[in-house]
Amino acid sequence: MFSSRTRSTRRGNTSQVERHSILKYPHRLNFYDRPPIDDITIEEFETCALDRLRVLAEIESSFVRNRPWDELKSIALEQCKTYLPLNASSATAQPIDAERKKDHIGHFVLRLAFCRSEELRRRFVKAEMALFRVRYDSDDAIEREEFLNSRDFDWVPVPDDEVKMYNAELIAAASSYRDPRDRTPLDTQKYYKVKWTRVPDLVEKRRVFLKAGMAYVPMREQSSIVFQEFQTNLEKALEMTAKALPRLDEDTRIVPILDNLSQGFLAGVSSEWTASSSSGNGDELTADMIDDLSKKHFPMCMRNLHECLKRDHHLKHFGRLQYGLFLKVLGLSIEEAIAFWRKSFSNIPDDKFNKEYRYNIRHSYGLEGKRANYAAKSCQQILCNDQPGSQDSHGCPYRHFSADNLQTALLSLYSSQGLTAGDLPEIMSAVKQNHFHVACTRVYEITHANYGVKKGEGVGGGESITHPNQYAAKSRELEKAKVDAIKTEMKGDVDVIMS
């Protein structure tokens, strides 16, 4: 309360002082430390939660579609405006307190709904984090400062003599990544000292100076501490809620609502590509069809793995995992998969194969160990997780090949399908800007031009490649459609002759 009053007096607006002092929620941002304690109707309980869920679901789908942060931000703000408006304290004409109360209640209801499993908790935290970031970024600078002052973040300002002592390192750490257009002088920067474990994201990107376990965080990166704090708090709170949930049996009306909410989140956006068509169409995949299929339908990451496998008669662990799961979802049965790998690993004696590889193949089909049904890796997972080591051949060629190797590989793998050296500059420029999926989509368009796929069309309706199995499935669909078309045409001819 104190801080908001000083600000208002600074503005010299006495009517606002009164208004502010009666606000129950003085800040637009909320760390959700305290649960709401008012009485609310069951309808309110549900609508607050549903409206918030709409926003969160949109955020999550943006993640899945790999939208850049700016786009995600504008989409989230748009959604918020409709379902969950939250205005700055200066917007006196708006029902600020009511908005903030709705935000507060919605958050806590969803906590109840999403604390139940590890998976739900993880997704909820991720979406809530993004929402908090969007709001934090769009908050009025002065109001944000007030919000930060209202809470103890336990950061220690670095004393001047220490800044002087490590001046060279601090400047080097800051200048190694900053925007070249940023001309603010570096040596007048203020720093905060926190345990490095509180800012793992900054450490990961080497954006801070580290000494004896303390990270020297520049003022500009302060937000990173705030977000990390928000995440840690929420994770802890969710776990506590999960433990307390079994004792929540006071009201039988609440549990069905909560069930409904968590269902909605699950069904809303599917992040996994599931091949529904490939199993139903009757033609079973066999081990010896793979080589042929790979030449016609596989995206580059899989073709590369296939070629490596043919050349070396072996793939390292992550390569087997990436390729094996892809083949599984493509429709290769477990028996055929074992036959395929057995034949491919031709230098490996039978007993070694049975001992070291058979288990792993069966494991990936959910027949061993914890019997999980593993999904094939999406582009995002291939791009971001399990970076290839110096001897590995998995990963995304568009990202993990050097430019000249990529060009050579593109020509040797796809020239038979119509890719020419003239197409390379366009593909390479997408790669250079780190738009790896754009490059992959473009290659798809070029190599499927004879099926009538045009530039910008992607795998249909402008959709880009987000999953290797999507690439392969769409490619096979195109071929099937063409074959069917020829068949009907021929049948038509036969009919004509018959009559």
Closest approach, Cβ 311 to another protein, in A, equals 12
Candidate ranges 136-144, 149-157, 169-177, 248-256; the one touching another protein (CB under 8 A): 169-177
- Burial classification of residue 369, based on how many CB atoms lie within 10 Å of its CB (0-12 exposed, 13-18 middle, 19 or more buried): exposed
The terminus-to-terminus CA distance of the chain in angstroms comes to 91
Give the DSSP H/E element, type plus range, for residue 179.
none
Helix (H, G, I), strand (E, B) or coil at 376: coil
Closest approach, Cβ 204 to another protein, in A, equals 4
> For residues 305-334, which are near another protein according to CB under 8 A?
none
Neighbours of 412 (CB within 10 A): 10
The residue length of the chain stands at 499
CB closer to another protein, 172 vs 483: 172
Per CB under 8 A, the list member of 388, 424, 428, 435 interacting with another protein is: 388
CB closer to another protein, 20 vs 111: 111
Give the DSSP H/E element, type plus range, for residue 150.
none
Structural contact between residues 212 and 238, judged by C-beta atoms closer than 8 angstroms: no
Per CB under 8 A, the list member of 299, 397, 458, 468 interacting with another protein is: 397
CB closer to another protein, 177 vs 350: 177
Closest approach, Cβ 180 to another protein, in A, equals 8
Per CB under 8 A, the list member of 100, 400, 467, 476 interacting with another protein is: 400
Place of tokens 């994770």: 235
Candidate ranges 53-61, 120-128, 380-388, 417-425; the one touching another protein (CB under 8 A): 380-388
Site membership for another protein, residue 389 (CB under 8 A): yes
Of 307, 277, 275, 273, the C-alpha closest to 290 is: 307
State the Cα–Cα distance between residues 117 and 444, nearest whole angstrom. 38
CB closer to another protein, 304 vs 378: 304
State the Cα–Cα distance between residues 213 and 216, nearest whole angstrom. 10
Query: How many residues make contact with another protein (CB under 8 A)?
Result: 41
Of 397, 388, 401, 396, the C-alpha closest to 317 is: 388
Site membership for another protein, residue 402 (CB under 8 A): yes
Site membership for another protein, residue 246 (CB under 8 A): no
Distances (CA, A) of 6 to 136, 141, 148: 22, 16, 15
What backbone torsions phi and psi does residue 166 show, to the nearest 5 degrees? -100, 20
Distance of CA 384 to the CA centre of its chain: 10
Contact letters (x/-) for another protein, 171-200, by CB under 8 A? -xx-xxx------------------xx--x
Site membership for another protein, residue 434 (CB under 8 A): no
Closest approach, Cβ 2 to another protein, in A, equals 31
CB closer to another protein, 170 vs 285: 170
Q: Per the structure block, which two tokens stand in for 197?
A: 């474990």
CB closer to another protein, 168 vs 496: 168
Closest approach, Cβ 27 to another protein, in A, equals 28
Per CB under 8 A, the list member of 193, 211, 295, 362 interacting with another protein is: 211
CB closer to another protein, 319 vs 331: 319
Site membership for another protein, residue 206 (CB under 8 A): yes
Closest approach, Cβ 358 to another protein, in A, equals 12
Site membership for another protein, residue 213 (CB under 8 A): yes
Per CB under 8 A, the list member of 97, 307, 386, 479 interacting with another protein is: 386
Q: Per the structure block, which two tokens stand in for 131?
A: 């929402």
Site membership for another protein, residue 372 (CB under 8 A): no
State the Cα–Cα distance between residues 58 and 75, nearest whole angstrom. 8
Closest approach, Cβ 112 to another protein, in A, equals 18
Q: Which residues pair with 195 in a beta bridge?
A: 214
Identify how many contiguous H helices and E strands the chain contains and give both numbers.
25, 4
State the Cα–Cα distance between residues 493 and 443, nearest whole angstrom. 36
> Kindly report the CA angle at 289 between 420 and 365, in degrees rounded to 5?
110
Contact letters (x/-) for another protein, 100-139, by CB under 8 A? ------------------x---------------------
Long-range pairs for 86-94 at CB < 8 Å and ≥24 separation?
86/28, 86/135, 87/28, 88/28, 88/139, 88/140, 88/143, 89/4, 89/20, 89/23, 89/26, 89/27, 89/28, 89/140, 89/143, 90/140, 90/143, 92/16, 92/19
Distances (CA, A) of 330 to 16, 179, 269, 325, 381: 64, 44, 21, 8, 18
CB closer to another protein, 155 vs 273: 155
Place of tokens 């096979």: 476
Closest approach, Cβ 368 to another protein, in A, equals 12
Site membership for another protein, residue 395 (CB under 8 A): yes
Structural contact between residues 216 and 110, judged by C-beta atoms closer than 8 angstroms: no
Closest approach, Cβ 356 to another protein, in A, equals 8
Per CB under 8 A, the list member of 147, 209, 230, 357 interacting with another protein is: 209
Distances (CA, A) of 38 to 21, 41, 101, 222, 262: 19, 10, 10, 34, 24
What backbone torsions phi and psi does residue 195 show, to the nearest 5 degrees? -55, 140
Closest approach, Cβ 176 to another protein, in A, equals 5
Candidate ranges 13-21, 59-67, 403-411, 443-451; the one touching another protein (CB under 8 A): 403-411
Closest approach, Cβ 340 to another protein, in A, equals 23
Query: Using CB under 8 A as the criterion, which residues of the chain lie in contact with another protein when the complex forms?
Result: 118, 168-169, 172-173, 175-177, 196-197, 200-201, 203-206, 209-214, 355-356, 386-395, 397, 400-402, 405-406, 409
